[in-house]
Structure 1
Amino acid sequence: MSRFGTSAFGQLIVRLVLVSRWAMVPLFVGLAVALLLLVIAFLRTLWMFGTHLFVLDETQVIMALLSLIDLVLVGGLLVIMIQSGYENFVEKIDRRQATNSPEWMTRISFSGLKLKLFASLLAISAITLLKALMRLEVDVSEVQVRWLMAANVIFVVAYAVLALTDRFAHADERTEE
């Protein structure tokens, strides 16, 4: 039983807490709009890459491709956040009505969501580091590369800690059953 018991005030608090999740909906809609803007940015980058392909050197081609990959990873990150965030924080999506919904969306847990998000961030960080290493002789200082490497190491360590924590938490859940 809650601290407030079954009083009208207690029921109002519970109702307010349950309804507050709907405040997340405009945030997810905003992320969907951001995804559309990202698609436009991707197409613009792809167009610029295609129209300048024959005047780019090898390093510039690789940099352009890495930029496209970076945009795709951010797009994937947005899709994961929008769909699984909505299901985890607002309400379950009825898969009978959403027949074109990806199968993996029915299987992702909050723990899996955290790991997928972290893996995407780690990949984006690694691509940023690779792009900086490729520009090292041109316009990136060694200090910037060191900071990017430190950030990458922090992401890897944090990902490992998160994965281990989740593994131990699930092991504890299995032993309690």
Structure 2
Amino acid sequence: MQYKNTSPRFKPMTSILFGSRWLQLPLYLGLIVAQCVYVFHFMVELTHLVEKVPHLAEADIMLIVLGLIDVVMISNLLIMVIVGGYETFVSRLDLEGHPDEPDWLSHVNANLLKIKLATAIIGISSIHLLKTFINAPNLTEKTMLWQTVIHMTFVASAVAMAYIDRLMAPSHGDTHPASQH
């Protein structure tokens, strides 16, 4: 792809504006630190599970395991934001041909990233809701109702985002999203 030459008087401004994307690098590095915190938290919870397993009821084991799954799903969400966000907004990772390159990374864009994040949030919310229902005898009806409403709001938001993304995507023969109407 060839870029149009910018007038020399605008070149510094263009360089500053385009270069400002690197200000996001510390944010992604911070998310990597958060990922390390989640790995530590997972190991602590796994150790507690193994130590207490002889004294736990099945429902308690299920709640702890769901907590571990929750940590893994949040960690997956972090990876999507770190890798996908960096690739989309900062710089290419140049992983083409790497055997571990995620399939979705080759066609990642801001819209795909939003949809993937929304579905990950729904998954995390589903785990929380399942934990709520397992622990229902210890919770109020109001708490369970609000968690269900919040979960359904996440689902409705994801469906709306996917629908809007589909409306804006060009159909097979079109080159511009506006030409669909």
Which of the five TM-score ranges fits, normalised by the shorter chain? 0.7 to 0.9
Aligned residue number for residue 135 of structure 1: 135
Aligned residue number for residue 121 of structure 1: 121
**Equivalences for residues 45-124 of structure 1 within 5 A:** 45-95=45-95, 100-124=100-124
Tell me the alpha carbon deviations over residues 122-154 of structure 1, each in whole angstroms, 9 at most, x when there is no partner: 01111111111222212x221111111111111
Shift of 1:63: 0.3
CA 1:27/1:14 → structure 2, altered by over 3 Å: closer, same or farther? same
SS where residue 23 of structure 1 aligns?
Answer: helix
Could you tell me how far apart the structure 1 residues matched to 2:42 and 2:167 are?
A: 40
SS where residue 17 of structure 1 aligns?
Answer: helix
SS where residue 137 of structure 1 aligns?
Answer: helix
1:166 aligns with 2:160: no
Q: Identity of paired residues, percent?
A: 27
Amino acid corresponding to residue 31 of structure 1 in structure 2: L
Shift of 1:71: 0.4
Amino acid corresponding to residue 155 of structure 1 in structure 2: F
Q: Which runs of 5+ in 1 are unaligned?
A: none
Amino acid corresponding to residue 32 of structure 1 in structure 2: I
Give the structure-2-normalised TM-score. 0.86
Q: Which runs of 5+ in 2 are unaligned?
A: 1-5, 177-181
SS where residue 94 of structure 1 aligns?
Answer: coil
Shift of 1:108: 2.6
SS where residue 91 of structure 2 aligns?
Answer: coil
CA 1:91/1:172 → structure 2, altered by over 3 Å: closer, same or farther? same
Give the structure-1-normalised TM-score. 0.88
Aligned residue number for residue 151 of structure 1: 150
SS where residue 108 of structure 2 aligns?
Answer: coil
How many residues matched? Answer: 171
CA 1:97/1:160 → structure 2, altered by over 3 Å: closer, same or farther? closer
